[in-house]
Amino acid sequence: MTNRHNPLPLTRDNTAVVFVDNQVGLMTGIRDYSIADLKHNIVGLAKSAKVLGLPIVTTTTSSETLWGPAIPELTGVLPDQTFIDRTTVNAWDDPRVEEAIRATGRNKLIFAGLSLEVCAALPAMRAVREGFEAYVAVDASGTFNMTKRETALVRLTQAGVVVADGASLVIEILADNASNQAGEVYNALGMDWSLLVSQVRQSA
At 200, the pLDDT band (50, 70, 90 cuts) reads very low
Range 166-198 burial, b when 16+ CB lie within 10 A, else e: bbebbbebbeeeeeeebebbbbbbebeebeeee
Q: How many CA atoms lie within 13 A of 173 on its CB side?
A: 27
CB 141 within 8 A of CB 37: no
User: Which of 49, 51, 119, 125 is the catalytic position?
Assistant: 119
Query: Is the per-residue pLDDT at 124 higher than 70?
Result: yes
Residue type, 5: H
pLDDT at 1: 39
15-203: CATH topology is: Rossmann fold (3.40.50)
% of the chain beyond a pLDDT of 70:
91
The pTM of this model reads 0.93
The question of whether 119 is a catalytic residue gets the answer yes
Domain residue extents for the chain: 15-203
User: Which helix (H) or strand (E) covers residue 119, if one does?
Assistant: none
- Rounded to an integer, the average pLDDT of 129-137 is 98
**Pure H helices in the chain:** 24-27, 35-51, 72-77, 95-103, 121-129, 146-158, 166-174, 182-189, 192-203
Query: What are the tens digits of pLDDT across the range 31-45?
Result: 999 999 999 999 999
Residues 50 and 185: their CA atoms lie apart, in Å, by 9
